[in-house]
Amino acid sequence: MELNTSSTFQTAVRPELRNLFREAERTWAARADLRALYGSIDSLDFWVWMVWHGAGEDPRIAAAELPFPPSELLERVAGWGCSHDTFRKGGIVDWRRVVTTLRDAGFTFERGHVLEFGCGCGRILRHFARFAHACQFTGVDIDADAIAWSREHLKFADFRAISTLPPMDLPDASFDAAYSFSVFTHLPLDAQRAWLAELARVLKPGALASLTFHGRRAIERWLDGTSPSTTPTAERLRGDLVKFADEGYLFYEFGRMTSPHASNEEHWKKLDRALYGNTFLSRSFVEREWTRHFEIVALHPAPDDWQDFAVLRRR
Ligand SMILES: C[S@@+](CC[C@H](N)C(=O)[O-])C[C@H]1O[C@@H](n2cnc3c(N)ncnc32)[C@H](O)[C@@H]1O
């Protein structure tokens, strides 16, 4: 099938992405049902279909996917026993939310340089292959193993290992947009302040950032016992709710973390507990604390009852 000239897919010429885009075009041409459902090969939802359903149903699409990280690295971002299917489905759903929060705020993904702060092994960033013909992507993380794997296997983006506290070795005002998923959910207040200032430094004035945090809905999951994490226990969190109502901020250091992977045992041991745990923020706290360098564009209560999104604009 000939693609119309407005298709963004045909310009995806990077060798490691060619098979993936070829499969998208082949599938689009072969599936009248998908064409009726999604209208355009450029539709975001068609891309989500390719990853969520296509890769599971069609071995040719699965064979064209970008490689999967080893299980140790999957575990670090998505929990012990995370399968490829869970990794791809969780990643594409979270990717879609990142894209729509930024798009709704005016970032089109037609050009520009986008930063992921705390990208791990690229669970979300890998799906930005969809826009690699138009935008540049950089992922940063303190996890040097995840960065080394991503650099070798997700060649369409640039990856950098960073320290637990700023600065990053990135120039001032060099990014048009940034996002961070499930990182500010783990940082105490001083580290949040330092990283927000650093993100503001590397973003251009007027640039957008979409950052997730644990808000009221995540607290409810802790209290009803459906949170996958027990730091803190539901009982302890319940006891701190008055403090949360007053201050809008709670932070709990992680206790000892164990893993069947020896390399992950070492990895968890090296983490500075004072700088990594579970953090809960109220909307008014975000409005007060996250606005030194940014204005709030939107606050989206967690669509998955887990990660709220704050969409910010660099002043
Ligand atoms: C829960 S994982 C989320 C990873 C990725 N955003 C995703 O959604 O798959 C949290 C990530 O934050 C990284 N991280 C923790 N502290 C950090 C810090 N101070 N600066 C940057 N990244 C940090 C961890 O190494 C880890 O990759």
pLDDT tens, N- to C-terminus, the chain (315 residues): 334 434 555 555 688 899 999 999 999 999 999 999 999 999 999 999 999 999 999 999 999 999 999 999 999 998 878 999 999 999 999 999 999 999 999 999 999 999 999 999 999 999 999 999 899 999 999 999 999 999 999 999 999 999 999 999 999 999 999 999 999 999 999 999 999 999 999 999 999 999 999 999 999 999 999 998 989 999 999 999 999 999 999 999 987 777 788 888 888 888 888 899 999 999 999 999 999 999 999 999 999 999 999 999 999
* Gap from CA of 244 to ligand 1 centroid (Å): 24
For the chain, the C-alpha Rg in angstroms (whole number) is: 20
Q: How many CB atoms lie within 10 A of CB 301?
A: 12
In whole angstroms, what is the distance from residue 142 CA to residue 151 CA? 14
Among 226, 217, 284, 280, smallest CA distance to 251 is for 280
Cα torsion through 48, 49, 53, 55, rounded to 10: -70
Prediction pTM value: 0.95
- Domains, the chain, with CATH or none: 1-65 (no CATH), 69-315 (3.40.50.150)
CA-nearest residue for atom 5, ligand 1, is: 119
* Gap from CA of 141 to ligand 1 centroid (Å): 6
DSSP letters for 47-88: HHHIIIIIHHH-HHHHHHSPPPPPHHHHHHHH-TT--HHHHH
In whole angstroms, what is the distance from residue 75 CA to residue 126 CA? 17
Q: For 124-172, where are the alpha helices, taking DSSP H only?
A: 144-153
Query: Who lines ligand 1 at CB under 6 A?
Result: 77, 118-120, 123-124, 141-143, 146, 162, 164, 181-183, 186, 191, 276
Q: State both tokens at 25.
A: 């075009």
